[in-house]
C-alpha cells in the first residue's frame, strides 16, 4: 500500500478514537458498505485471492421471498469491485462459505440448500466461481444429499493436495450430531470415496471449522462437543484421520463453544484456535490457544477479552507466512440486550497479544445489533473483516467491512524485540 495512503488512514482512525471508547490505535481503512441492498443479508464469509491481491465476500440474502447466495469482490486496499449472484432458486440457500484455488484462479463457494422447501432436509451444494465472477458453464453441484441435515459448512483449499476439503455438521435421524467432510477435486467433482467421517460420539459435535497446514499437507478440524468443550481432529491431505482421532483443546468447567482455526504456513507448522467461553450469566469471553502441527496444545490459553458483557463469535485468520494472526469477535457495548460492535486483537509472531482495538465502534444513538457475526481473512497487506450490519432506523440488514492493516514492521520489532530492528515495511 502507498505509505501516504496508510498515513492518512491512520490519522483518520486516530481522530475517530478521540470521540469513541479508548482502544489501541490500530491502523485501519474506512468502513466499507459491501452490500446495502434494501433487504436482509446474513452470514458473511471471506476469501483472499493471492494471485490478484483481491478479496471475495459471500453472504446469503433474504429479499422477502427466499434466501439466495450473493458475492462481491474487493481489491487489496478494500475498494469495491463487481458484485453478483452465486446461487438462486425457488428454495432457500443459506450459510455460504468460500475458499480460493490459486491453481485455477477461482473460488469454491458452498452452502446449505432447503431441498424440499419446508426445512425438513437441508443438503450441501457448491459452485466454482472464477476470479471475476460466475461462469454459466460452471453450475452448482451437490456435495452431500443424504436424508439428514447438512449445515454450518466450512471449506479450505489444500495447495499440495490440489483439492478442497469441506466440513459440516450432520443432524437428524435420531442420533447425535456429527462432523463429516468431503474432498472436492479442482473441477468441482467429489473425489471417489472422498466422504470423511471426521468426528462423532455419544454427544453432539457442532460448529466445525477447518484450516490447511501447507507445511505438512494436513488439516486441523475444530468443533465443540455439546457446546461445552473444544475438540479437534487432524487429517492428512487425503482425508485420513491422524494421531488416534480427536483431542481436547479446551475442556474447562464452564462451557466453551464456536471454535475457529487458522494456519499460517511458511514453515510455522502450527495452528491457532479461538473460541468463546461462558464465564457468567450472559457473559462470554474470548480465548485462544496454539496447537502444534502434531496436534498438541502448545502453551496456556490466551485471554483476548474479559469485559463483564458478552464477547462472542470469534473468527481467526492469518497473513500467510507472517506468523501473525488476527482474532475478530462481536462485543456488546451496554446491557444484555444492547448493541454489538466488532473488536479485534493481533497475535504477534512472538506469541504475545497486541492491545485490543475496535474494528467497528457502537456510536451514540445506535441501537439494536449494529455489527455482528464477523468474518476475517488475511491478505498481502493486512486483513479484511466483514460483518452483518443493521441499517439504523430501518428493517434492513447490510454487509459492511473494514481493512485492518498488519503489524507496522514485517521483521518482528513491533513485538518488542530490539534485535530485529530494520526499516523494512510490509
Average pLDDT over all residues of the chain: 89
Lowest model confidence (mean pLDDT) among 156-165, 202-211, 345-354, 366-375: 366-375
Average pLDDT (130-140) is 98
Would you say residue 368 has pLDDT above 60?
yes
Nearest to 358 by CA among 33, 19, 51, 5: 19
Q: What is the pTM of this model?
A: 0.90
Give the three-class secondary structure for 387: strand
Average pLDDT (145-153) is 96
Would you say residue 321 has pLDDT above 80?
no
pLDDT tier at 336, thresholds 50, 70, 90: low
- Show the cell assigned to 184: 472436492
- Show the cell assigned to 27: 491502523
Q: Where do the structural domains in the chain lie, given as residue ranges?
A: 31-406
Q: What is the pLDDT of residue 129?
A: 98
d(CA 121, CA 18): 51
Q: What is the DSSP letter of 336?
A: T
Instruction: Let me know: does 57 contact 398? Beta carbons within 8 Å.
Output: no
| Number of CB atoms found within 10 A of residue 136's CB | 5
| Number of CB atoms found within 10 A of residue 49's CB | 22
Please name the residue ranges forming H helices in 139-297: none
d(CA 125, CA 230): 27
CA 166 to chain CA mean position, Å: 14
% of the chain with per-residue pLDDT over 90: 80
Average pLDDT (161-178) is 97
Which parts of 76-140 are beta strand (E)?
80-87, 93-101, 106-114, 122-130
Give the three-class secondary structure for 335: coil
Q: What is the pLDDT of residue 9?
A: 36
Q: What is the pLDDT of residue 16?
A: 34
Q: What is the DSSP letter of 244?
A: T
What is the DSSP pairing of strand 340-347 with strand 397-405?
unpaired
Sheet strand arrangement including 340-347: 311-318, 325-332, 340-347, 357-360
Any idea of the CA torsion for 237, 243, 249, 252, to the nearest 10 degrees? 150
Query: What are the backbone angles phi and psi of residue 41, rounded to the nearest 5°?
Result: -125, 135
Instruction: Let me know: does 95 contact 60? Beta carbons within 8 Å.
Output: yes
**How many separate helices (H) and strands (E) can be counted in the chain?**
1, 28
Q: What is the pLDDT of residue 113?
A: 98
Would you say residue 412 has pLDDT above 80?
no
Q: What is the pLDDT of residue 421?
A: 28
Q: What is the pLDDT of residue 212?
A: 97
Q: What is the pLDDT of residue 56?
A: 98
d(CA 49, CA 145): 30
Q: What is the pLDDT of residue 17?
A: 33
Q: What is the DSSP letter of 353?
A: B
Instruction: Let me know: does 301 contact 274? Beta carbons within 8 Å.
Output: no
Give the model confidence (pLDDT) of 5-52 as tens digits.
333 333 333 333 333 344 567 899 999 999 999 999 999 999 999 999
Q: What is the pLDDT of residue 334?
A: 79
CATH of 31-406, picked from 2.120.10.10, 3.20.20.60, 3.30.70.141, 1.20.1260.10, is 2.120.10.10
Instruction: Let me know: does 152 contact 206? Beta carbons within 8 Å.
Output: yes
Give the model confidence (pLDDT) of 233-254 as tens digits.
999 999 999 999 999 999 999 9
Higher pLDDT, 410 or 136: 136
Element (H, E) at 17: helix 3-17
% of the chain with per-residue pLDDT over 70: 89
- Show the cell assigned to 374: 464477523
Q: What is the pLDDT of residue 415?
A: 35
d(CA 115, CA 142): 11
Contacts of 257 (CB under 8 A, 6+ apart): 207, 224, 227, 228, 230, 275, 276, 278
Amino acid at each position: 500500500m502507498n505509505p501516504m495512503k496508510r498515513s492518512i488512514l491512520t490519522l483518520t482512525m486516530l481522530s475517530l478514537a478521540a470521540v469513541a471508547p479508548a482502544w489501541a490505535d490500530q491502523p485501519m481503512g474506512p468502513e466499507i458498505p459491501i452490500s446495502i441492498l434494501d433487504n436482509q443479508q446474513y452470514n458473511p464469509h471471506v476469501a483472499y485471492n493471492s494471485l490478484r491481491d483481491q478479496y471475495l465476500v459471500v453472504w446469503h440474502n433474504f429479499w422477502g421471498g427466499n434466501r439466495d447466495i450473493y458475492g462481491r469482490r474487493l481489491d487489496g486496499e478494500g475498494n469495491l469491485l463487481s458484485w453478483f449472484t452465486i446461487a438462486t432458486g425457488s428454495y432457500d440457500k443459506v450459510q455460504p462459505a468460500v475458499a480460493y484455488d490459486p491453481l485455477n484462479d477461482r473460488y469454491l463457494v458452498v452452502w446449505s440448500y432447503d431441498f424440499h422447501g419446508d426445512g425438513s432436509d437441508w443438503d450441501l451444494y457448491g459452485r466454482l466461481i472464477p476470479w471475476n465472477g460466475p461462469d454459466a458453464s460452471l453450475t452448482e453441484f451437490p456435495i452431500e444429499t443424504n436424508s439428514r441435515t447438512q449445515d454450518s459448512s466450512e471449506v479450505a483449499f489444500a495447495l499440495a493436495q490440489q483439492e478442497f476439503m469441506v466440513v459440516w455438521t450432520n443432524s437428524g435421524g435420531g442420533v447425535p450430531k456429527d462432523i463429516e467432510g468431503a474432498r472436492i477435486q479442482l473441477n468441482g467433482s467429489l473425489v471417489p470415496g472422498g466422504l470423511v467421517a471426521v468426528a462423532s460420539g455419544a454427544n453432539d459435535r457442532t460448529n466445525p471449522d477447518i484450516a490447511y497446514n501447507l507445511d505438512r499437507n494436513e488439516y486441523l478440524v475444530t468443533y465443540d462437543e455439546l457446546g461445552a468443550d473444544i475438540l479437534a481432529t487432524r487429517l492428512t491431505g487425503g482425508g485420513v484421520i491422524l494421531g488416534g482421532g480427536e483431542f481436547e483443546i479446551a475442556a474447562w468447567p464452564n462451557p466453551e463453544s464456536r471454535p475457529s482455526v487458522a494456519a499460517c504456513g511458511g514453515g510455522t507448522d502450527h495452528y491457532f484456535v479461538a473460541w468463546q467461553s461462558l464465564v457468567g450469566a450472559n457473559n462470554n469471553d474470548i480465548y485462544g490457544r496454539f496447537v502444534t502441527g502434531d496436534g498438541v496444545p502448545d502453551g496456556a490459553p490466551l485471554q483476548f477479552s474479559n469485559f463483564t458483557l458478552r464477547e462472542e463469535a470469534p473468527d481467526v485468520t492469518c497473513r500467510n507466512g507472517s506468523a501473525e494472526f488476527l482474532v475478530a469477535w462481536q462485543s456488546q457495548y451496554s446491557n444484555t440486550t444492547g448493541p454489538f460492535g466488532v473488536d479485534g486483537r493481533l497475535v504477534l509472531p512472538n506469541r504475545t497479544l497486541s492491545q485490543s482495538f475496535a474494528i467497528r465502534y457502537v456510536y451514540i444513538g445506535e441501537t439494536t445489533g449494529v455489527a455482528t457475526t464477523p468474518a476475517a481473512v488475511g491478505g498481502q497487506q493486512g486483513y479484511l473483516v466483514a460483518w452483518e450490519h443493521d441499517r439504523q432506523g430501518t428493517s434492513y440488514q447490510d454487509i459492511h467491512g473494514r481493512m485492518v492493516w498488519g503489524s507496522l514492521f514485517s521483521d518482528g520489532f513491533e513485538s518488542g524485540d530490539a534485535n530485529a530492528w530494520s526499516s523494512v515495511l510490509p
